[in-house]
Amino acid sequence: MDAGRAEVADDVLARRAALGDRDAFALIVDRHGPALLRYTGNLLRRGDQAEDCVQDTFLAAWRGLPSFRGDSSLRTWLFTLARHAAFARLRRFPAGGSRPFVPVEEVQDRLRDLREDPERSSVENALREALELALQLLPPRQRTAWLMREVEGMSYEEVASVLGTTTTAVRGLLERSRTTLATTLEEWR
């Protein structure tokens, strides 16, 4: 793909893909696929599930692009599709209703083990792993809000659009997620 095509705006690509332009859709996949995979991977915690979820997201996007009105950005719309696909997978887990069972004590023990491991070559790697473990304790909507805001850099408005809620609700979700993470990772301060 040449540099000129890489600079094409998302809304233009969406219109072209809606008309059946497979190259435009491939560029959408290349542009947004890594972020969607990162998001679903952090949410689902299983690489194979995340890959399937992103594949389902792009299948839904391909089918839905002809009716995409552009009320939100293409990126926001794709994250909304990914959230729906990921939450559907989370509901399939038998324990815990809308999310898989997370043994809190086991996570806390692993967090302590990571902090006390003197052989770790990098505190940063240990902290990253501790954060990934702590994220498992968050309910899916809180985790989604946190990942989209803190990892993907989305605005409050974009997160609200993806979650189908208000920016005030997003602020509340973020506050609860940050409080839970701060409490869980208190030993890392």
Closest CA to 163 of 140, 185, 186, 187: 140
Identify the sign of the CA torsion 158, 162, 164, 168. negative
Closest CA to 60 of 31, 43, 39, 80: 80
The model's pTM is 0.70
Domains for the chain: give ranges and CATH numbers.
1-101 (1.10.1740.10), 103-189 (1.10.10.10)
Helix (H) or strand (E) holding 171: helix 167-184
Full pLDDT tens readout for the chain, 189 residues: 444 555 889 999 999 999 999 999 999 999 999 999 999 988 887 778 899 999 999 999 999 999 998 888 999 999 999 999 998 888 765 444 444 455 556 655 655 555 555 554 466 677 777 888 888 888 889 999 999 999 899 999 999 999 999 999 999 999 999 999 888 888 776
